[in-house]
Amino acid sequence: MSSGGVFALSIHADYRCRHSGACCSADWDVPVELPVYRTLQEAVERGRLQPQAEARHLAPFVVEPDLPEGAAAMLERTARGECVFLDRGSKLCIVHRDIGEAALPATCRYFPRLAVRDNRGTFITLSHFCPTAASMLFRPDSPLSIVAGPPAFPPGDYDGLVVTGNDLPPLLCPTMLMDPSGYSAWESHMVGRCSMTDCSPETVVATLERDARVLRTWRPGGQSLSEAVRNLPQGLVAPEPQRTLDASLVLYAQAMQAIPDDLRPLPDEDGLDTAFFRLVNSRWSAFYTPLNRFLATKAFASWTAYQGRGVSTIVRGLDAALAIVRVESARLCRDAGREIDAELLRDAFRCADFILNHLAVGEDLAEAWSSAEA
Ligand code: SF4
């Protein structure tokens, strides 16, 4: 990869907001930077910008002590948890519609993009909490690969993890760093494994666990790390048969522990094992492609690579993401009283990324997953 460019997965490369309204009604805190706050405040005062009809009685900005760093205000929300600037009928953002995209707070401009910028370039994946992004996992028209210069993501200063020259590169294992080209080779290798459409996501994870174990034995002085990645065994590893949901629930519980107490969802696990094996498992093979693509979105542009302690940590993160999808699929099928289908699986991806990207603390997840290096 050339340095300094923007890279994304092919399935995300033409992303654009389709106005589902999901992110603008998720009851999230949306911080507003000072210049943006001034612009919005002035537009409100001059009557160029008005909140949605049901929120006209509210002050559109929350100004209080203890705002996040860099924020001059927060956007107010309705009792339904909607941003006051969401037009309920059209699902359009009133700020974007009436005074332009440039007036949006950074959170709004960049969501659902999740970026990592390092000395190789800017790497962008998406949060599949966004229903449009989640639907892209199912698209029939786009083989999975890493693409340079994706049309949806022009060069820019994307919000995200910024790795500077003072930061360490990703670790191969707790005692060995990777060089940039070696890490790029490993990232591409993981995406390549995830591009297989005819094997289960459990096979992808088991094979990557083996690949990570082999790669960790690399030492400088012989072949380069990139060559070592290219020379990894070709064969796939059969996963251990899973006769219960227990192993997935353990990884799910670990992710829950990474969520701050005041945000952690209440436990809701009754009947999930039965639901998984009655309503999900028999249809799982129909969804290998979107499931493997979901894994790819965790392997690519990975924050865990920089926050964790090696390549096995990254793969443990993939395993955990899959476990959470299994648990959420079981829960959604149990509640709907029907077998898994594309709609329920899409919602399971949304739930999984809500946990992984919006509730849990990334450093805490990486710390927990680093136990894979033992
Ligand atoms: S300002 Fe617009 S994009 Fe941002 S949360 Fe509100 S409605 Fe959504």
- The answer to whether the beta carbons of residues 111 and 339 sit under 8 Å apart is no
- The answer to whether the beta carbons of residues 366 and 308 sit under 8 Å apart is yes
* SS3 at position 43: helix
Residues in the ligand 1 pocket, defined by CB under 6 Å: 24, 30, 75, 83, 85-86, 93, 95-96, 104, 108
Q: Element (H or E) spanning 114, and its range?
A: strand 113-118
Report CA(91)–ligand 1 centroid distance (Å).
10
Residue type, 111: F
* SS3 at position 190: helix
pTM above 0.75, yes or no: yes
DSSP string, 248-293: HHHHHHHHHHTS-GGGPPPP--TTHHHHIIIIIGGGGGGGHHHHHH
pLDDT for the residue numbered 1: 40
β-strands 171-173, 176-177 pairing: antiparallel
User: What is the arrangement of strands in the sheet containing 121-126, beginning at the earlier edge strand?
Assistant: 146-148, 5-9, 121-126, 113-118, 160-162
Report CA(357)–ligand 1 centroid distance (Å).
19
Q: Which atom of ligand 1 approaches the CA of 24 most closely?
A: 8
- Cβ atoms within 10 Å, residue 67: 15
* SS3 at position 61: strand
Alpha-carbon distance values, 8 to 153, 159, 201, 207, 291 (Å): 8, 15, 21, 23, 18
Mutate to test the pocket of ligand 1, among 83, 90, 92 (most ligand atoms within 8 A of CB): 83
Q: What is the pLDDT along the chain (374 residues), one digit of tens a residue?
A: 445 799 999 999 999 998 898 999 999 999 999 999 999 999 999 999 999 999 999 999 999 888 988 899 999 999 999 999 999 999 999 999 999 989 999 999 999 999 999 999 999 999 999 999 999 999 998 899 999 999 999 998 888 999 998 899 999 999 999 999 999 999 999 999 999 989 999 999 999 999 999 999 999 999 999 999 999 999 999 999 889 999 999 999 999 999 999 999 999 999 999 999 999 999 999 999 999 999 999 999 999 999 999 999 999 999 999 999 999 999 999 999 999 999 999 999 999 999 999 999 999 999 999 999 99
Separation of CA 235 from chain center: 28
pLDDT digits (tens, 9 = 90+) for 180-232: 999 999 999 999 999 998 999 999 999 999 999 999 999 999 999 999 999 99
pLDDT digits (tens, 9 = 90+) for 257-296: 999 999 999 999 999 999 999 999 999 999 999 999 999 9
Report CA(97)–ligand 1 centroid distance (Å).
10
Return the structure tokens found at 41: 């405040």
pLDDT for the residue numbered 65: 85
Report CA(84)–ligand 1 centroid distance (Å).
8
Dihedral sign for Cα 240, 246, 252, 257, please. Answer: negative
